[in-house]
Structure formats: C-alpha cells, structure tokens
Structure 1
Amino acid sequence: MAANESKPSLLVGVLSKLLHSSELASIEILPGALKDWAIVDLPPEAPKPSSHFPFVFVEGNLGIPQKVLHALYLAAVSLPWRSSGADDAIASSSVIILLNPAHQTALNARKSLMKEGHLDPEKELVLMELISRGSPECAKQSIVWDHRRWCLNRIYGMMGPVNTAHPLQFWASSEEMQLFPKIGPAVVQRELALTQHTCETYPRNYHSWAYWHFIIDVCYASICSSNNNERQQEFLRIVTAECIRIRRWIEQHVSDYSAMHQLFQSLTLLNRLRTIGVLIDEINGDLTTSMLINHALSLVTTYPSHESLWMYLRVALSGATTTELVEISDKLERQNLPSPYFKQQLFKWFSVSTEVHSCI
C-alpha cells in the first residue's frame, strides 16, 4: 500500500527530468488516460507507456495523458517542496506550472531557484516556451509573460539610460525603458515568433499581443539608445517586417481587434522615427497613415458585418483631416453595405470629428 501511495510522487521526479531534458522538443497534453495510450503503436526505440512511465515520448516529443497529469499535479502540490531541497522544488514546481501555469507560488519559487543558481534562466525560457506552445491555457496567462520578462532581465541585464526626446503615446517612457532587458535582434526574433504562435493557438489573445507590444517597445528603446546606425537599421527592419506581417494577419483574422490596435500604435512609433530621420524609405514598407486608412476601408467594404473592422477604420481615421473624413464618408454613403448600424455609428463619430476639426 505504501509503495502504491508513493508512486505518484516518484513519477513527479520522472516527469521533471523529462521536462528539463536537453532532448525535449515539444510538449503536448493528450486527451484521456494512460490506458488510452498504452495500446498505441510506437516506434521500437520509444519507451512503451506503462504505470512506471505513463508518458508518450517519441524523438523528443513528450505527450502526457491528461488524467496522468492531473494525478501528478495533486501529488506535486501535496509534497512539502517549499521546505525541501532544490531538486524537489524544481520537480514539483515544474509539474505544477505544466497544468496550472498561473500558479504564482510555483513561479516565484523558480525565480528564487534561478537567483540561487539551481536553475538556468536560459533553460527556463526554453521550458516556458515549450509549455506555451503546447498549452493554450499557458499562453493566455499574463503572469507567464511577466515570468518571461523577468528571465530576460536576469539573463541580459537592464538597458540602462535611454535618450528619447519626447514621450510617445502608447509607448514606454525613458524611465520605463531603462528597466527593459538588453536583448539583441536574434532574441527579439525568437520572442516575436513565440507570440505569433500563441496568437494562432489562442485567438484574440490579449496577453500575447501585450507581450508583442513590449518586444516592439524594446526594439524602439534599442533604436533610441544605439549610436550604431547598422544596429538601428537592424531593429527597424524587424519592426517594419512585423507591421507588414500584422497587416496580412488582420486580413486573415478580421475579428482580432487586438492586432488592429497594435498595428495602429506601431505606426505612431514609425511616424516618430520617420520624423526624426531614423526611418529611411528603403525599409519604410509603405507603412503610413494613408496605408492604414485604405487598408481598413478595403476590409470594411469586404467584410462589413465585422464590428472590429469598423472600429479599426475609426482608429485609422483618428488622424485624418476634415476633407479626408468627408471624402470617406461620401464613399461609404454611396455603397449599399449590409451593416447599417455600424455605418451609422461611424457617421455619428464623423459628424463629431468634423465639428472638432472645424473648431481647431
């Protein structure tokens, strides 16, 4: 009996070793129980799922039956890992965050383990990325993205003084930028690739988009803090490429207002860089206010039943002149779009905006 009772706690350690293995390439929580996967045909070299190894592990790809993970989670939280040694704390906390990534106590324990040198923050980033890619639940938790930011600061240090002439609406101040991680273009690309994946797996993922905004903000701070023109242009190419990608993303995800909002905010950043002479035509990518208006207008006329696109158009027009507002209002009026309510709401906003413009 005692041996049977101790088995889940032993399996917590087995799973932890798999999660921290350098061979690990992906993580997936599988539906069902061990019995559903014990009968699956696997390659001869792969271990057969059993009560001693209730996992599917093939060529670095780890599958954990959901009922097995629930049992191991209960075992992990019941162990005295907070008052135990580093190995027990690493094992229990890794199993806990796999099922409950918003478990603040477990994440804080892992921060302490990194500070004490028991956990490598680079490997922690890899593990958290694998969990984020394998679990939609993980990607929608703000605390997971905060943990990722903390790890980046731990590895790369803080950026230090950043010289920005004037604060830019929607973006960090000079004081806030000093606390950003000092990461290079390769790390930026990796982080952006992760946000792209998590936005795909969990549609309209606000926290993933907020992290995307943070990484673009890091690019902006890097541009402002660097005296190396080549390095500035490298970060600029990343930002413009992301804006072009998001423009395509919006065309394929016409209900994702978070993406539309981020594109608009990013154009304000590019407009500032264009004004101060940092953004050159070679990498401009036609990312202008006029482009944004035309893009939103074309999508509204193609998919008029999506309220998010009407909101996108309204945001795009926030910097338009009275003449531009009247021209677009006339163009929409002439089109017999099957969403009169959204159009009427936009026209009400038009009338208020033109009155404001005429008073300026």
Structure 2
Amino acid sequence: MTDASVSTCFRSLTSLLLKPPATIEVLPGDASIWIPDVEERSRSPFLFTENNLGVPEKELRRSYLFAVPVFSAARKASEFHTLEDPSNHIMSSAIQDLIDSSAVLILMNPAHQTALNARKQLIVRNLIDMGEELKFTAALLSSRHCCKQGELWYHRQWLLRRIYPVPSFPQGLITDMIPDSPNFYLPPNDLSAEIHLVSRACELYPRNYFGWTHRTICILSALVSGRSAASCSGLSLTSPTTVLFITLKHSQRLTEDAESPLLPDRLHLVFGHALTLVRAFPEHETLWQYLRVFWDESDVATAFVTSFVLPLQSPRMTEQESESPSGVQHACRFLEWRNQRLK
C-alpha cells in the first residue's frame, strides 16, 4: 500500500471515528475479507452501516503507524503555538491533526496516556467539545478491544466531572463511602445512559472490573443530598442497578435516619428479585452472594430452601447436577452459610 493510500485510509478512519459512530468493532483480517468488491474497498476500507463502524485490524494497524508521526508533529506544533490565535491557519491545522491522530492512537491502544492527555488539554482549551468527546468515548467503550482498559473509563469520569460538577458534598456523604470519589452529579437520564453503557461493556467482557467500578461511581454520584429521589425515580425496581442504588441509599439513610418507612417494602421487592435470579441462573456465584445480602428468614425464604436449594444440592438430582454442577456447589455453600447464620 502506497503512502498516499495509507494517508487516505487514515483520513477516512478519522472522519468516521469523529462522527462519532454508535458502536465500533475491530474486525479480524484486512478489508478484502469484509469488502470483496475492489472498487468499493478503494473508496473506503471500513464498514459503516446504520452508524455502526467496523474497522478491519490490518487497516487499523496501517492507520496507527501513519498516525504516530502525525501525532508527534502536531503535538509539538500545538504546544509551540499555544499562546497564538486559534484561528491561525498553522495552529488550526496542527490542532485538527492532533484530534485526528489521537483518535486513531486511542482506538489502537485505549491505554495511550499521551493521546488521552492531549485530548484533555484540547478540551480545557475549548478546542474539543466535551459532549462530542463523551460520545466518542462511548463509541470506543462499545468495543471489546477498548472496554477492558481502565484509562478510558478514567477519561470518561474526568469528562463527567467537568460536565456535571458539584462544588461540595455534605459532611460524611460520597467522599466517605469511596475515597477520592469523583466530584460530579448525574441527572437521571444521563445516569441511565451510563448504566446502559456499562451493561453493554460488561456483556462484551464480563470480568470488566473498571466498567463495574464506573457503574458504582455513577450511582454514588446520584446520592447527592436532595437529588437522589429524582435519580431513583428514573430507574426500574427490577433492575440490578436499582438494587445497588437502594443498597447504597440504605447505607446512607442508616446514618441519617434510623427509621425509614419506605425501605422495608423496597427491600422486600429486592429479596424476591434475588430469589428469581438464583432460580433462573443457579450456576452464577455472584447471584448467590447477592441473595445473601438481602436474605431474610421468612416463610418465603423457607419455601425457597425446601423447593429449590435442597433438591439442587441433593446427590439424587443427577440430571440437575449434570446441567449445573457449579450450581450444586453454590447451593451447598449457601446451606452451610445459612446454617451458621441460624446458630
């Protein structure tokens, strides 16, 4: 591939990345696998359908190698011209190159701190719109390749702090619950959008520690005094996210008001939700742990143990055991935990 064609490939990719698309997926192989038609491939080696972007891995690597020197030169030029008028032609050209090249570098390497910091500096100088950057990071986090990287989640949290700042917190609130908690408040609609983003990322990569942590941080941001009721109203009581919200809200209220008449009814719904999840997915240890948090010895609990847990862990239930061997182990451990609790 000639330098001109690589440059065209790079520019084509950056124009698509900065739309930005709804989702991005890095595809194995080169463009010929995904776009057999030579003429169509010559126009653009990338797939873009219904605002979803597919980037063949070989084309991404070529664009990345082209972007590295472009980024280096643009960063030096932008630093040199920092105090000049942004409308200056040389300055604006360098800024655009910096925006374009950093986008490709981050797609290839989501942990590229230098590229992420360069974009932060451009945002501070109002040369990148924060709302557009939020959309760009959402597109990146829709890719399994990117959603595993903590640096990208930190970059998004940095954006949220700038878009939704909270000057100060009441004594003993969020900062006591999580040290160095981000100083921002998410309105209900934006909280739901963040939860949806995390849910998708964790479907792509279930052991997504940074994604789950981001979700917790966003929910904690809704616990700002006087605003949490509105945040909770935007969530469904059948959602695991609401479960976490209620649990954290409960912890907060215990310190503020020992008697909360609304809490028992809500936790009763949560307990029923936990029972339903364990019945449906007994092989998931996390759900058994979740059930323990809300466990309450009652007629419903006793019926659950008798009708589900005891038969599940019984050696005579060979068919169930073969279908969910891990579920059998979790049931045994749950019974041991319950017996210890009843002593």
User: What does residue range 87-236 of structure 1 map to in structure 2 within 5 Å?
Assistant: 87-133=96-142, 135-156=143-164, 158-163=165-170, 166=172, 172-173=175-176, 179-221=182-224, 224=225, 226=226, 233-236=229-232
Look up the match of 1:287: 266
Give how far 1:330 is off.
Answer: 6.9
1:49 maps to amino acid: R
TM-score, length of structure 2 as denominator length: 0.73
1:5 maps to amino acid: D
- Gapped regions of structure 2 (runs ≥ 5): 78-93, 314-326
Aligned equivalents of 2:312 and 2:49: distance in 1?
Answer: 53
Give how far 1:114 is off.
Answer: 1.3
2:54 maps to amino acid: G
TM-score, length of structure 1 as denominator length: 0.70
Give how far 1:298 is off.
Answer: 4.6
Look up the match of 2:290: 312
Aligned CA distance change for structure 1 residues 31 and 148 (closer, same or farther; 3 Å): same
Structure 2 residue aligned with 1:245, among 225, 232, 239? Answer: 239
Q: Is the 8 A contact 1:76 1:96 kept in 2?
A: yes
Give how far 1:285 is off.
Answer: 10
CA RMSD of aligned residues (A): 3.9
Aligned CA distance change for structure 1 residues 280 and 64 (closer, same or farther; 3 Å): farther
Look up the match of 2:336: 348
Aligned CA distance change for structure 1 residues 266 and 210 (closer, same or farther; 3 Å): farther
Answering whether residue 44 of structure 2 is matched by residue 53 of structure 1, we say yes
- Gapped regions of structure 1 (runs ≥ 5): 42-46, 247-258, 356-360
Aligned CA distance change for structure 1 residues 62 and 349 (closer, same or farther; 3 Å): closer
> SS state of the match for residue 342, structure 1?
helix
Q: Is the 8 A contact 2:188 2:231 kept in 1?
A: yes
> SS state of the match for residue 123, structure 1?
helix
Look up the match of 1:36: 33
Aligned equivalents of 2:155 and 2:45: distance in 1?
Answer: 29
Give how far 1:150 is off.
Answer: 0.7
Aligned CA distance change for structure 1 residues 39 and 331 (closer, same or farther; 3 Å): closer
Q: Is the 8 A contact 1:264 1:315 kept in 2?
A: no
Look up the match of 1:83: 76
2:293 maps to amino acid: V
Identity fraction in percent: 30
Aligned CA distance change for structure 1 residues 160 and 333 (closer, same or farther; 3 Å): same
1:137 maps to amino acid: H
1:19 maps to amino acid: L
1:234 maps to amino acid: A
